[in-house]
Amino acid sequence: MSSADELIIKVDEDNLERIGEGSRRCCFRVPGQPGCVKFYRTPSEYTKKTKPSVRFSIFCSRFCLWFNVNYHETLYHGHLRKRLPPDLFEVFPEEMRMVFSRKRGWGVVESYIQNADGTAIRRLISEIGRAKSLTLRRRLYLAAADLFSRLAEHAVCFYDPPNLMVQWTGPEEFRLRIVDFEPYGRALVPGLSFSKLYVRLKVRRRCSRYLKRLREIFFKEGEV
Ligand X SMILES: Nc1ncnc2c1ncn2[C@@H]1O[C@H](COP(=O)(O)OP(=O)(O)O)[C@@H](O)[C@H]1O
Chain residues in the site for Mg ion (CB under 5 A): 22, 180
38 binds, among Mg ion, ligand X, none (CB under 5 to 8 A by kind): ligand X
What 8-state DSSP symbol labels residue 110? E
Min separation Cβ 96 and Mg ion, Å: 15
The helix/strand/coil state of 101 is: strand
Binding mask 109-128 for ligand X (x = CB under 6 A): -xxxx-------x-------
Buried/exposed code over 9-42 (b: 16+ C-beta within 10 A; e: otherwise): eebeeeebeeebeeebbbbbbbeebebbbbbbbe
Q: Sketch the per residue contact string, 11 through 40, with ligand X: x for CB under 6 A, - otherwise.
A: ---------xxxxxx-x--------x-x--
Nearer CB in complex with ligand X: 1/136: 1
> Which residue number, 19 or 142, has a Cβ lying nearer to ligand X?
19
Q: DSSP 3-state assignment of 63? A: coil
**How many DSSP H helices and E strands does the chain contain?**
6, 8
169 binds, among Mg ion, ligand X, none (CB under 5 to 8 A by kind): none
Q: Is 133 exposed, middle or buried (0-12, 13-18, 19+ CB in 10 A)?
A: exposed
Site residues, ligand X (CB under 6 A): 20-25, 27, 36, 38, 93, 110-113, 121, 179-180
